[in-house]
Chains A and B, each alone.
Chain A
Amino acid sequence: MRKEESVTEQLKGTLTPDRKERKNLISLLQEIQESLGYLPREAMTELAKFLEMPAVRVYSVATFYNQFRFTSIGKYPIQVCLGTACHLRGGKLILQEFERQLGIKVGETSQDGNFSLERVACMGCCMLAPVVRIGDRAPAVKIGDKIYPKMTPFKVDEISVPYKQEIEKERSEEEQIPQ
Chain B
Amino acid sequence: MTFKELTNRAKSEWEALQSSTHILVGTATCGRAAGAMETVKAFEEELKRRNIEVKVIEVGCMGLCYAEPLVAISRPESLRVVYHHMTQELVPRLVEGYIISDDPCLELALGTFEVGEEGEAPYIPELPRFEKELRLVLRRCGYIDPENINHYLANDGYRGLEKALKMRPEEIIEEIKKSGLRGRGGAGFPTGLKWEICHSYSATPKYIVCNADEGDPGAFMDRIVLESDPQQVIEGMIIGGYAIGADEGYIYIRAEYPLAVERVKVALQQAEKLGFLGDNILSSGFGFRINLATGAGAFVSGEETGLMAAIEGETSEPRPRPPYPAESGLWGKPTALNNVKTFANIHLIVERGADWFASIGTEKSKGTALFSLAGKIKDSGLTEVPMGTTIREIVYDIGDGILNDREFKAVQIGGPSGGMIPANLQDTPIDFDSLTSIGSMMGSGGFIVMDEDDCAVDATCFFVDFITRESCGKCTPCRVGNLQMLKVLENITNGKGKMEDIDFLLELAEDIKGGSLCALGGTAPNPVLTSIRYFQDEYAAHVLEKRCPAKVCTNLTAYCILQDKCDRSCEHCVLTCPTEAIGGGVGKIKHIDQEKCVNCGTCRDVCPPKYNAVVKLSPISSLPLEDFAAKEKAVAKAIEESET
Contact A27 B601, beta carbon cutoff 8 Å: no
In the complex, per-residue mask of A70-88: 1 if CB is within 8 Å of any chain B CB, else 0: 0000000000001111011
A29 beta carbon closer than 8 Å to chain B: yes
Select which of A84, A140, A147, A152 is within 8 A of B462 by beta carbon: A84
Contact B315 A61, beta carbon cutoff 8 Å: yes
A114 beta carbon closer than 8 Å to chain B: no
Select which of B218, B316, B374, B605 is within 8 A of A154 by beta carbon: B605
Q: A68-B296, A88-B459 are in contact. Are A126 and B218 (CB under 8 A)?
A: yes
- Determine the chain A residues whose CB is within 8 A of the CB of B630 once the complex forms: none
B376 beta carbon closer than 8 Å to chain A: yes
**Which of these binds chain A: B26-34, B126-134, B267-275?**
B26-34
- Determine the chain A residues whose CB is within 8 A of the CB of B373 once the complex forms: 127
Smallest CB separation, B212 vs chain A (Å):
11
B598 beta carbon closer than 8 Å to chain A: yes
- Determine the chain B residues whose CB is within 8 A of the CB of A82 once the complex forms: 217
B243 beta carbon closer than 8 Å to chain A: no
Contact A126 B298, beta carbon cutoff 8 Å: no
Contact B255 A131, beta carbon cutoff 8 Å: no
Give the complex CA separation of A105 and B60 in angstroms: 37
A30 beta carbon closer than 8 Å to chain B: yes
Contact B448 A27, beta carbon cutoff 8 Å: no
B450 beta carbon closer than 8 Å to chain A: yes
Range for the number of chain B residues in contact with chain A: 35 or more
Contact B30 A128, beta carbon cutoff 8 Å: yes
Contact A153 B602, beta carbon cutoff 8 Å: yes
- Determine the chain A residues whose CB is within 8 A of the CB of B579 once the complex forms: 100
**Which of these binds chain A: B257-265, B431-439, B476-484, B529-537?**
B257-265
Contact A152 B375, beta carbon cutoff 8 Å: no
B606 beta carbon closer than 8 Å to chain A: yes
Contact B313 A127, beta carbon cutoff 8 Å: no
Q: A126-B220, A126-B380 are in contact. Are A22 and B297 (CB under 8 A)?
A: no
Smallest CB separation, B287 vs chain A (Å):
21
**Restricting to A116-134, which residues have a CB under 8 Å from any CB of B?**
120-129, 131
A111 beta carbon closer than 8 Å to chain B: no
Q: A123-B256, A143-B258, A154-B576 are in contact. Are A128 and B34 (CB under 8 A)?
A: yes
Give the complex CA separation of A60 and B313 in angstroms: 11
Contact A126 B602, beta carbon cutoff 8 Å: no
Contact B446 A84, beta carbon cutoff 8 Å: yes
Smallest CB separation, A126 vs chain B (Å):
4
A90 beta carbon closer than 8 Å to chain B: yes
Range for the number of chain A residues in contact with chain B: 35 or more
Give the complex CA separation of A65 and B473 in angstroms: 13
B219 beta carbon closer than 8 Å to chain A: yes
B416 beta carbon closer than 8 Å to chain A: yes
Residue among A22, A68, A153 facing the most chain B CB atoms (10 A cut-off)? A153
- Determine the chain A residues whose CB is within 8 A of the CB of B488 once the complex forms: none
B286 beta carbon closer than 8 Å to chain A: no
Q: A122-B216, A123-B256 are in contact. Are A67 and B374 (CB under 8 A)?
A: no
Smallest CB separation, A103 vs chain B (Å):
13
Smallest CB separation, A123 vs chain B (Å):
6
In the complex, per-residue mask of A11-37: 1 if CB is within 8 Å of any chain B CB, else 0: 000000000001111110110000000
Q: Which residue of B lies closest to A145 (CB)?
A: B258
- Determine the chain B residues whose CB is within 8 A of the CB of A27 once the complex forms: 293-294
A107 beta carbon closer than 8 Å to chain B: no
Smallest CB separation, B223 vs chain A (Å):
5
- Determine the chain A residues whose CB is within 8 A of the CB of B223 once the complex forms: 124
Contact A124 B466, beta carbon cutoff 8 Å: no
Contact B257 A126, beta carbon cutoff 8 Å: no
B311 beta carbon closer than 8 Å to chain A: yes
- Determine the chain B residues whose CB is within 8 A of the CB of A124 once the complex forms: 29-30, 214, 220, 223, 256-257
Give the complex CA separation of A138 and B510 in angstroms: 44
- Determine the chain B residues whose CB is within 8 A of the CB of A147 once the complex forms: 29, 32-33
A97 beta carbon closer than 8 Å to chain B: yes
- Determine the chain B residues whose CB is within 8 A of the CB of A140 once the complex forms: 255, 258
Q: A88-B459, A127-B381 are in contact. Are A66 and B29 (CB under 8 A)?
A: no
- Determine the chain A residues whose CB is within 8 A of the CB of B376 once the complex forms: 88
Contact A149 B33, beta carbon cutoff 8 Å: yes
A110 beta carbon closer than 8 Å to chain B: no
Give the complex CA separation of A104 and B218 in angstroms: 27
Contact A24 B297, beta carbon cutoff 8 Å: no
- Determine the chain A residues whose CB is within 8 A of the CB of B598 once the complex forms: 96, 100
A55 beta carbon closer than 8 Å to chain B: no
Q: Which residue of B lies closest to A124 (CB)?
A: B220
- Determine the chain A residues whose CB is within 8 A of the CB of B311 once the complex forms: 23
Smallest CB separation, A164 vs chain B (Å):
17
Q: Which residue of B lies closest to A85 (CB)?
A: B374
B102 beta carbon closer than 8 Å to chain A: no
Give the complex CA separation of A54 and B412 in angstroms: 44
Smallest CB separation, B411 vs chain A (Å):
11
Give the complex CA separation of A128 and B220 in angstroms: 12
Contact A85 B218, beta carbon cutoff 8 Å: yes
Select which of A90, A101, A143 is within 8 A of B601 by beta carbon: A90
Q: Which residue of B lies closest to A90 (CB)?
A: B601
Give the complex CA separation of A84 and B299 in angstroms: 14
In the complex, per-residue mask of B33-46: 1 if CB is within 8 Å of any chain A CB, else 0: 11000000000000
Contact B313 A25, beta carbon cutoff 8 Å: yes
Contact B312 A84, beta carbon cutoff 8 Å: no
Contact A65 B30, beta carbon cutoff 8 Å: no
B314 beta carbon closer than 8 Å to chain A: yes
A141 beta carbon closer than 8 Å to chain B: yes
Contact B256 A26, beta carbon cutoff 8 Å: no
B518 beta carbon closer than 8 Å to chain A: no
Q: A127-B380, A147-B32 are in contact. Are A24 and B601 (CB under 8 A)?
A: no
Q: Which residue of A lies closest to B312 (CB)?
A: A23
Q: A65-B298, A153-B602 are in contact. Are A141 and B256 (CB under 8 A)?
A: yes
Q: A90-B601, A141-B255 are in contact. Are A64 and B33 (CB under 8 A)?
A: no
Smallest CB separation, A113 vs chain B (Å):
23
- Determine the chain B residues whose CB is within 8 A of the CB of A129 once the complex forms: 374-375
Give the complex CA separation of A25 and B316 in angstroms: 13
Contact B217 A122, beta carbon cutoff 8 Å: yes
A93 beta carbon closer than 8 Å to chain B: yes
Give the complex CA separation of A175 and B238 in angstroms: 58
- Determine the chain A residues whose CB is within 8 A of the CB of B315 once the complex forms: 60-61, 64-65
Residue among A82, A87, A100, A140 facing the most chain B CB atoms (10 A cut-off)? A87
Smallest CB separation, A81 vs chain B (Å):
8
In the complex, per-residue mask of B572-602: 1 if CB is within 8 Å of any chain A CB, else 0: 0000101100000000000000000011111
Report, nearest first, the 7 A-B pairs whose CB atoms are least far apart. Answer: A83-B217, A84-B218, A127-B380, A65-B296, A126-B374, A66-B297, A25-B313
- Enumerate 7 A-B pairs (CB-CB under 8 Å) in ascending A order: A61-B315, A66-B296, A83-B218, A84-B217, A84-B462, A121-B466, A122-B218
A positions within 8 Å CB-CB of B: 22-27, 29-30, 60-61, 64-68, 82-85, 87-88, 90, 93, 96-97, 100-101, 120-129, 131, 140-143, 145, 147-149, 152-154
List 5 other contacts, CB 8 Å, given A65-B316, A82-B217: A87-B459, A122-B217, A123-B29, A124-B256, A154-B602
